[in-house]
């Protein structure tokens, strides 16, 4: 794969990463309700999950999903339920983010990582995105080294974007405003996540 093709793939992946969606809502929610460091952990886990989708696609998993649409339907339903659950959780605990330093424990970081990874893995549209993208460039003769380079590119782009989302909010005026209005922010995000989850069932 030549350099121009590699960078064109990278540009498309950047556009996919920065497109607003449920992942952005989850990373922002983790950042606001816990801390920017929790958001960074969620961002790393999310990037790993998106990287897995890319790797699985290159190995042919997404192609199998096309041949078995019922599997895609089930995953879409589970993803919708997960989004709705996150929304209900946000509404139920609106404004109840950690207030004291001792409230933030290692368990909280694991929970942040879980949320970031789950929102990435329970998004079968990511598989279709990479299927459409990689099918133009990948063939059966592609070596493992190039596949790992492509995986690294996808992981880096997604992770860096959401790290910026989490860390650039830290200590800034936007974060202070959001924290002052945390209850309403949580409620708005909760409604957004529930709406995104329900949209899966209404299609």
pLDDT digits (tens, 9 = 90+) for 26-61: 888 888 888 888 999 999 999 999 998 888 888 775
Q: What is the pLDDT of residue 122?
A: 83
Q: What is the pLDDT of residue 101?
A: 43
pLDDT at 102 over 70: no
Spatial CA neighbour of 187 closest among 95, 111, 116: 95
Residues 143-167 have pLDDT tens digits of: 778 878 888 999 999 999 999 888 8
Mean pLDDT across 185-193: 78
Between residues 145 and 182, the one the model is more confident about: 145
Percentage of the chain surpassing pLDDT 70?
76
C-alpha dist (Å) from residue 37 to 40, 45, 108, 197: 5, 12, 11, 27
d(CA 1, CA 104): 45
Query: DSSP readout, 127-168?
Result: HHHHHHHHTTT--TT--HHHHHHHHHHHHHHHHHHHHHHHHT
Of the listed ranges 58-67, 152-161, 190-199, the one predicted with least confidence: 58-67
Q: What is the pLDDT of residue 98?
A: 46
For the record, the structure tokens of 13 come out as 């992946």
Q: What is the pLDDT of residue 141?
A: 65
Query: DSSP readout, 93-111?
Result: TTT----SGGG--HHHHHH
pLDDT at 104 over 60: no
Q: What is the pLDDT of residue 60?
A: 73
Of the listed ranges 17-21, 23-27, 29-33, 189-193, the one predicted with least confidence: 17-21
Q: Whole-model pTM?
A: 0.71
Q: What is the pLDDT of residue 99?
A: 45
Mean pLDDT across 100-116: 69
Q: What is the pLDDT of residue 49?
A: 93
Q: What is the pLDDT of residue 156?
A: 94
Between residues 83 and 102, the one the model is more confident about: 83
């Amino acid at each position: 794969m030549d350099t121009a093709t590699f960078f064109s793939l990278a540009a498309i992946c950047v556009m996919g990463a920065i497109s607003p969606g449920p992942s952005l809502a989850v990373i922002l929610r983790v950042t606001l309700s816990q801390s920017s460091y929790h958001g960074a952990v969620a961002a790393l886990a999310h990037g790993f999950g998106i990287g897995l989708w890319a790797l699985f696609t290159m190995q042919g998993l997404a192609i199998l999903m096309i041949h078995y649409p019922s599997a895609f339907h089930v995953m879409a339903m589970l993803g919708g339920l997960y989004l709705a659950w996150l929304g209900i959780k946000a509404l139920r605990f609106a404004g109840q983010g950690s207030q004291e330093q001792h409230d933030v424990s290692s368990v909280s970081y694991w929970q942040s990582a879980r949320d970031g990874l789950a929102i990435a893995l329970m998004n079968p549209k990511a598989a279709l995105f990479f299927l459409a993208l990689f099918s133009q460039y990948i063939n059966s003769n592609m070596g493992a080294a190039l596949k790992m380079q492509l995986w690294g590119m996808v992981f880096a782009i997604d992770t860096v974007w959401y790290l910026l989302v989490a860390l650039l909010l830290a200590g800034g005026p936007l974060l202070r405003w959001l924290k002052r209005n945390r209850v309403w922010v949580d409620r708005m995000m909760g409604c957004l996540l529930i709406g995104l989850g329900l949209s899966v069932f209404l299609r």
